Amino acid sequence: MNKAVRFIIKWLIVFFAASILIFLLVRMMPTTPAVKWLDTLHLPRTEANIEWITHRMGLDRPLAVQYGIWMRNFFRGDWGVSLVSGEDIRARFFAKMPYSFSIGISGILIGSAAAFFLGFRAALRRGGICDKITTVLTIFSQSVPMFILSIIIINALGVRLRIARFFTGDGKYAMLAAILLTAFYSVGSLSRIVRQGFREEMGKSYVKFAVSRGFSKETVLFRHAYKPVLAGLISAVISHFAYVFGGSTVLEFAFTIPGLSTMLVSAMDSRDYNILQVYILVVVIWMFFVHLVLNLVLRALNVRGQES
């Protein structure tokens, strides 16, 4: 079967599997949105009240009907309204998506660029300073939680030195810090992968040949051996993206960035089914584009690699 067709079919299945899963999961949560809604307005949880609000939220219809309506409206571009505030969900998501997505993309881009150069230097000098830095970074990012480092940064730069204002102003410092932290936490493990890739290339005969012809060792490695290494790095980044999404939840919380995750946590609190459902679909669609672009890049790299 054609690779592109397979790719699309796989993602369609992922999309519908995720939508059904989240649709059922939210409805399995012990407290219903109707009860939560009554609680926030300090109304008694009488049966009549619950029945009325459940009906108004449209949650008393059969599950299949609810799912059908939700899906149909989603594809028409109507993502529904928040069960709590009645706001249009799509407008809310579009206002918040830039924050979360740009933290993810910029963080990963900066992180993998840094990892590539650091890994390159680490491979060149075995046991050298760069080699040690990559190991230390890997262990550091596995033992010091992101939120601890965030608090230290906020205190040092925002409170003591007063260089950056994280919670007032237009929030550009908060975004910058979140992006750099995402990058910082990605560098360690990614640079080890780059290092490993270069080490493997070093032993290959084309590299030996080029070096013995008198090209400088660095040039040979950097100009001619980068493709397989880059391909390895990109495959690692693909699987790293889901993790970044989780990490940005913590960062958005720490720096009070009005991104998707802060909305998710509050929606979780009020059991806002509609927001929770749309959130998962948006994540899946976002991941689809990430995988699509990175797979295309990977393909482009491979083709050129075979030609040369």
Partner 1 sequence: MKKKIILWAVFAAIVLFLFLAPHQNVRLVDIAHTFAGPSAEHWFGTDNLGRDLWSLMVVGGIRSLGVVGLATAISFSLGTLLGMAAAYEGGILATVIQFVTDFTMIVPSFIVALILSALFGFSPVMAGLMFGIGNMGSYVNLSRGLTLGMKERDFISAEISLGLSKPRIVFLHIFPNIMKQMFVYMGNHASSVTLQYAGLAFIGLGTDITNPDWGTLLYSYRLYMLTYPRLVIIPIAAVCLLALFFHFAFDDGSAGKEELTIYD
Footprint of partner 1 on this chain (CB under 8 A)? Answer: 10, 13-14, 17-18, 22, 25-26, 28-30, 123-124, 126, 138-139, 142-148, 151-152, 155, 189, 192, 199, 202-203, 207-208, 211-212, 217, 221, 239, 242-243, 245-247, 249-250, 253-254, 261, 264-265, 268, 276, 279-280, 283-284, 287, 291
How near is the Cβ of 48 to partner 1 at its closest, in Å?
Answer: 27
User: Shortest Cβ distance from residue 240 to partner 1 (Å)?
Assistant: 9
Burial label for 250, CB within 10 Å (0-12, 13-18, 19+), is: middle
Q: How far is the CB of 14 from partner 1 (least distance, A)?
A: 6
**Nearer CB in complex with partner 1: 117/243:** 243
Taking a C-beta distance cutoff of 8 angstroms, is the pair 185, 146 a contact?
yes
CB of 145 to partner 1, least distance (A): 5
Closest to partner 1 by CB, 36 or 90: 36
Q: Give 82 or 150: the residue with its C-beta nearer to partner 1.
A: 150
Least Å distance, CB 57 to partner 1, is 18
CB of 250 to partner 1, least distance (A): 5
Please name the residues in contact with 67: beta carbons below 8 A apart, sequence gap of 6 or more.
19, 20, 23
Q: Based on CB atoms, which residue is closest to partner 1, 80 or 232?
A: 232
Residue corresponding to tokens 């959130």: 279
Nearest to 131 by CA among 68, 196, 59: 196
Residue 72 or 217 with smaller CB distance to partner 1: 217
Query: Cβ neighbours of residue 116 under 8 Å, at least 6 residues apart?
Result: 191, 194, 229, 230, 233
Q: Which two tokens stand for residue 18?
A: 């995720």
Residue 249 CB, shortest distance to partner 1, in Å, is 6
Please report the DSSP string for 102-122 in residue order. Answer: HHHHHHHHHHHHHHHHHHHHH
Rounded-to-integer distance, Cα 101 and Cα 16, Å:
22
List the one residue out of 272, 280, 263, 308 whose CA is nearest residue 95. 263
Rg (CA), the chain: 24
Specify the residue, 167 or 243, whose C-beta has the smaller distance to partner 1. 243
Q: Which is nearer to partner 1, 51 or 218 (CB)?
A: 218
Angle ∠(198,201,207) on CA atoms, nearest 5: 120
Supply the minimum distance, in Å, between the C-beta of residue 20 and partner 1.
12
Nearest CB to partner 1, comparing residues 38 and 281: 281
In angstroms, the CA 103 to CA 254 distance is 13
Inter-axis angle of helices 260-270 and 273-307, to 10 degrees? 150
